[in-house]
Amino acid sequence: MCAACEWPVGASPDFELIAPRADVVYYLRFRDRVKIGTSANPRRRLTAIKHDELLAFERGDRTLERARHAQFAELRLERSEWFIFGPALQRHVETLAGSTSDPWRTYARFVKDCYLDRM
């Protein structure tokens, strides 16, 4: 298995297939706040949002995003997708990040899993 993307070494994806869609909930830090959002194309989405650090990804769509907004409602800043980076949210992000220091590796696994699920 490739150490970066965890695809089987020598595997050749079928590029004639439509690219797999891996919906994710992302956690972005800007100063002392965290944005909890969702995207099917996080590379493009994250370039449009001012942030200091990508903290983590979680596989899920708007349903999971809404659940996370409800879970951390007491930390929410007004009616936005931004939250105070309090201890409960910090623990959640640390759990998602696990031992990886690069959230993009996690995203690469999600994309691979979506691709393999279609086979």
The amino acid present at 109, given as its one-letter code, is R
* Lowest-confidence pick of 4-13, 22-31, 79-88: 4-13
Count CB-CB contacts under 10 A for residue 10: 6
Residue-level pLDDT at 107: 86
Residues 54-110: pLDDT tens digits?
999 999 999 999 999 999 999 999 989 999 999 999 999 999 988 778 898 888 888
Contacts 24+ apart (CB under 8 A), 98-105: 103/26, 103/54, 103/55, 103/56, 103/57, 104/54, 105/4, 105/5
Q: How far apart are CA 42 and CA 40, in angstroms?
A: 6
* 111 within 8 A of 57, measured Cβ to Cβ: no
pTM: 0.80
